[in-house]
């Protein structure tokens, strides 16, 4: 039997089954994920798109040309190509509009995606997906659910984790 992932935090609206929001999950494999619930409309039986995003950590590497690149966490000089070959699709001018959209700075976004804290990385991917769209940021891992199905599966676990770990709402990003 597959072990249920542990809820380590929340992101988005504090009423995710009404307005959208997500769970930051630890699967015990060192690869936390963000499971985000995005509503299609406001009707009681509305459908939600559920997106899973792996919260991949990035590191800053300076290339031979002096340019700094965001590359996968395990990158080192023994890899067959230089860092420019492994840069993420958003590591270029695509972080400037995200920063402007979220009221942040590019430096802050980079600090968050390079952080060891999965909640910091979750806030980065939340901002990236809020601007570029959840379907564009995830790895194609999306499902369509009805609101009532989501509540049956997640509402109890969500409420219990929230009560157990947090007694206030300031943890919401």
Q: How far apart are CA 73 and CA 77, in angstroms?
A: 13
CB 56 within 8 A of CB 86: no
Q: Please give the structure tokens belonging to residue 173.
A: 């990003």
Residue 43: per-residue pLDDT: 61
End-to-end CA distance of the chain: 33
Residue 162: per-residue pLDDT: 62
This model's pTM is above 0.85: no
Residue 113: per-residue pLDDT: 95
Q: Which residues of the chain have pLDDT under 70?
A: 1-2, 41-45, 139-140, 156-173
In this predicted model, what pLDDT tens digit does every residue of 16-56 receive, in sequence order? Answer: 777 788 889 998 888 899 999 888 766 656 788 888 899 99
Supply φ then ψ for residue 18, to 5 degrees. -115, -45
């Amino acid at each position: 039997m597959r072990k249920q992932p542990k809820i380590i935090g929340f992101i988005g609206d504090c009423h995710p089954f009404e307005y959208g929001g997500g769970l930051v999950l630890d699967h015990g494999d060192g690869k936390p994920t963000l499971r985000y619930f995005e509503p299609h409309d406001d009707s009681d039986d509305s459908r939600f798109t559920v997106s899973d995003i792996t919260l991949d950590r990035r590191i800053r590497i300076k290339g031979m040309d002096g340019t700094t690149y965001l590359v996968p966490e395990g990158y080192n000089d023994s890899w067959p190509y230089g860092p420019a070959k492994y840069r993420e699709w958003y590591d270029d001018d695509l972080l400037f509009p995200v920063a402007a959209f979220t009221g942040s700075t590019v430096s802050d976004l980079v600090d968050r995606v390079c952080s060891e804290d999965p909640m910091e990385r979750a806030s980065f991917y939340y901002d990236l997906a809020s601007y570029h769209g959840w379907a564009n940021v995830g790895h194609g891992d999306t499902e369509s659910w009805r609101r009532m199905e989501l509540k049956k599966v997640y509402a109890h676990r969500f409420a219990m984790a929230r009560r157990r770990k947090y007694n206030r709402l300031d943890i919401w990003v």
